[in-house]
Chain A
Amino acid sequence: MSFETLISILDSTIRLGTPLLLACLAGLFSERSGIFDIGLEGKMLVAAFLSAAVAYLTHNAWLGLLAGIAGSLVFSMIHGLASITFRGNQLISGVAINMLASGITVLVGQNWFHLGGGTPALSDSARFNDITLPLAKTLSGVPYLGRIYDQLISGHSILVYVAFLAVPATWWVLFKTRFGLRLRAVGENPSAVDTAGVSVVGLRYGALVITGILCGLAGSYLSTSLAAGFGKEMTAGRGYIALAALIFAKWRPWQALGATMFFGFLAALSIRYATIDIGFLVIPSEFMDALPYILTVVILAGFVGKAIPPRAGGEPYVKER
């Protein structure tokens, strides 16, 4: 494999890993607060649709982004209402959100654009275009490092940089702030938090707001940056892969970056090579596509380290029994 090929595969890794990363961090906030969220897929889908639709109508990618985040927030709050306020089953609420999103995007899309649930192709002004970082062109002549800077680090959409900055930000919020400490505590032992006089419900809703915003970014990236417009079911299971990455990362932010980029790398490899020949055996690309799920099962089964989810995850908090 030449240096050029490697760079282009890593470049593709970043593009494919970014929506996973954003969704994974979204899930991290929610699950750390004790709310299981398998509705990441649905929230991304709604955000992708609204971003593309609003960006198309207003010719402004930023307004699209805001609309996408708003849509994702609404779905996040529905999840919160069902699972925090009404103490419903969090998994069922998540499934319901996925199904609702999958149906409503096509229904509304067909009604607005008459294109079978998709939006028309977006023009350049309605998309987040790739930005070139300063000095990228002048440094591109420098061997290796210059090329890495020019082709790998520079030349992505702004949402990619936001996603990468969200990793240290998440780490800082979770582990260095009072809010983060309480958030982690509410996912482990909500009654202790309650005893300390902090609102469990408030904290969990707060976590879901962050989840909604991050899912909104992920969806918006898919439809207004990676692609140019919405197509039905365009998230194509990325929400579930993000959940798998979350387990793979054992609910920690830096590991989430590693896990999502690793899964992105697998996807990029399977796109670049239909089959991978490693001397004594040939690996089909379908295997690469399935690998994230296989790895998650292996981790969950406890073969490689143990994945311990937040202890209070999945259980609605009841103050008095």
Chain B
Amino acid sequence: MSLMPKFLCAAAALALTAGTAFAEPAIIYDLGGKYDKSFNEAAFHGAERWAKESGKKFREVEIQSEAQREQVLMRLAQSGANPIAMTGFAFADVLNKVAPEYPKTKFAIVDSVVKQPNVESIVFTEEQGSYLVGMMAAMASKSGTVGFIGGMDIPLIHKFECGYAQGVKAVNAKAKVIVNYTGTTPAAWNDPVKGGELAKAQMSQGADVIYAAAGGTGVGVLQAAADGKILSIGVDSNQNYMHPGQVLTSMTKRVDNAIYNVFKAGADLKPGVKVMDLKAGGVAPAMDANNAKLVTPAMKAAVEKATKGIEDGTIKVHDYTTDNKCPVN
């Protein structure tokens, strides 16, 4: 019996130390879901890479509805998770509300700028990456008509579209870009059947390269393109492997690197805006064995030249979100 208090003491001490060291990072995935093969999945891979390298654990939550955003964010902050990363612009409003309530917790948001002293906002220059894949699309197209299928109709996706259209027109000023959006609600990120129908509709209008910036909906676009024997372009994660030899390239957005860096910095995360551009390796067209046969030397050279041009500022790619206008189309 005399051992018991000692045990209790030891257990309490252990619990205490565990409590202080218990500052696990956490990540919240947006409605597209953790396994959307695209944006959220990239974030998951980044977190996983950190966990593997550091041997530590992280916490993750997949929200199921709009109403859960604030709830989940508050609960994670209350439980002492630090830093808390979230993927998606849709968290901006709630984060603006929640962040001041937990001044000691660091937050990171991808794809939106939240001006709070304890928030790191990570934004990507999607227009630059999209410009490069747009050039490749225009060079690969035989019909001179290419397609773009967006997910939810929001300014962020127009940024992809506008960059893409600029890249297409830079190669072939007469090329036609057909644009479709899946919907106006978050359900538009996860409707592969509608994505496939949109792709088929674009094909019947002559499109022979289709760029899908639509999260989980893009799976249907890529499938329909492969079925119709035309080329497609993936987004966010490298999706070249999904239909080898049928996916021209993928506009990778290194959300994985962003989340990895956030977790690595831990509680010392530096608040402010972090721009992941072409130079920083934030965005790039994916080149691997699956699309090696599709990418001609001329394409490669053109992309390399344009990359240099964008980096040194000789090529200016317009960012749609600055004025909600696109210079082409």
Interface residues of chain A, those whose CB is within 8 Å of chain B, are 4-5, 8, 11-12, 15-16, 115-118, 121, 222, 226-229, 231-234, 236, 268, 271-272, 274, 286
* A115 near B35: Cβ-Cβ < 8 Å: yes
Q: Given known contacts A5-B205, A227-B193, A236-B193, what 18 new A-B pairs fall within 8 Å (CB)?
A: A4-B204, A5-B204, A8-B200, A12-B201, A15-B197, A116-B33, A116-B35, A116-B36, A117-B35, A222-B193, A227-B223, A233-B190, A236-B191, A271-B194, A271-B197, A271-B201, A272-B201, A274-B180
B143: min CB distance to chain A, Å: 14
Q: List 25 A-B contacts (CB under 8 A).
A: A5-B204, A8-B201, A8-B204, A11-B204, A15-B197, A16-B197, A116-B33, A117-B33, A117-B35, A118-B35, A121-B242, A227-B193, A227-B220, A228-B227, A229-B219, A231-B190, A232-B33, A233-B190, A234-B192, A234-B193, A236-B187, A236-B193, A271-B194, A271-B201, A274-B180
Chain B hits for A234, CB < 8 A = 192-193
Complex-state Cα separation, A226 to B223, whole angstroms? 10
Q: Does B181 contact A (CB under 8 A)?
A: yes
Chain A hits for B220, CB < 8 A = 227
B198: min CB distance to chain A, Å: 6
Complex-state Cα separation, A228 to B199, whole angstroms? 14
B199: min CB distance to chain A, Å: 10
Interface of B is mostly: helix
Chain A hits for B219, CB < 8 A = 121, 229, 231
Complex-state Cα separation, A236 to B193, whole angstroms? 9
A37: min CB distance to chain B, Å: 23
- Closest chain B residue to A124 by CB distance? B227
Complex-state Cα separation, A16 to B200, whole angstroms? 12
Complex-state Cα separation, A239 to B298, whole angstroms? 50
Chain A hits for B204, CB < 8 A = 4-5, 8, 11
User: Which of B35, B36, B180, B196 meets A226, CB within 8 Å?
Assistant: B196
- Closest chain B residue to A222 by CB distance? B193
Residues of B158-201 at the interface with A, using a CB-CB cut-off of 8 Å, are 180-181, 184, 187, 190-194, 196-198, 200-201
User: Which of A11, A233, A271 meets B198, CB within 8 Å?
Assistant: A271
Known: A227-B196, A271-B180. A232 touches B190 (CB 8 A): yes
- Closest chain B residue to A228 by CB distance? B223
Interface residues of chain B, those whose CB is within 8 Å of chain A, are 33-36, 180-181, 184, 187, 190-194, 196-198, 200-201, 204-205, 216, 219-220, 223, 227, 242
Complex-state Cα separation, A221 to B327, whole angstroms? 43
Complex-state Cα separation, A274 to B194, whole angstroms? 13
Chain A hits for B180, CB < 8 A = 271, 274
A145: min CB distance to chain B, Å: 19
- Closest chain B residue to A113 by CB distance? B35
User: Which of B36, B184, B242 meets A286, CB within 8 Å?
Assistant: B184
Chain A hits for B223, CB < 8 A = 121, 227-228
* A227 near B184: Cβ-Cβ < 8 Å: no
Complex-state Cα separation, A233 to B193, whole angstroms? 11
Chain B hits for A222, CB < 8 A = 193
Chain A hits for B192, CB < 8 A = 227, 231, 234
Complex-state Cα separation, A16 to B196, whole angstroms? 11
A203: min CB distance to chain B, Å: 35
Complex-state Cα separation, A12 to B242, whole angstroms? 25
Chain B hits for A228, CB < 8 A = 223, 227
Complex-state Cα separation, A42 to B118, whole angstroms? 44
- Closest chain B residue to A16 by CB distance? B197
B326: min CB distance to chain A, Å: 15
A56: min CB distance to chain B, Å: 14
Residue among A5, A118, A222 facing the most chain B CB atoms (10 A cut-off): A118
- Closest chain B residue to A151 by CB distance? B204
Chain B hits for A232, CB < 8 A = 33, 190
- Closest chain B residue to A233 by CB distance? B190
User: Which of B34, B181, B205, B216 meets A274, CB within 8 Å?
Assistant: B181
Complex-state Cα separation, A12 to B224, whole angstroms? 13
A163: min CB distance to chain B, Å: 16
Complex-state Cα separation, A69 to B227, whole angstroms? 26
* A12 near B197: Cβ-Cβ < 8 Å: yes
- Closest chain B residue to A12 by CB distance? B197
Residue among A4, A5, A226 facing the most chain B CB atoms (10 A cut-off): A226
- Closest chain B residue to A8 by CB distance? B204
Chain A hits for B242, CB < 8 A = 121
A302: min CB distance to chain B, Å: 31
A9: min CB distance to chain B, Å: 8
Complex-state Cα separation, A5 to B201, whole angstroms? 9
List the 4 shortest-distance A-B pairs measured between CB atoms, nearest first.
Answer: A116-B35, A8-B204, A228-B223, A271-B197
Residue among B36, B181, B204, B219 facing the most chain A CB atoms (10 A cut-off): B204
Chain A hits for B197, CB < 8 A = 12, 15-16, 268, 271
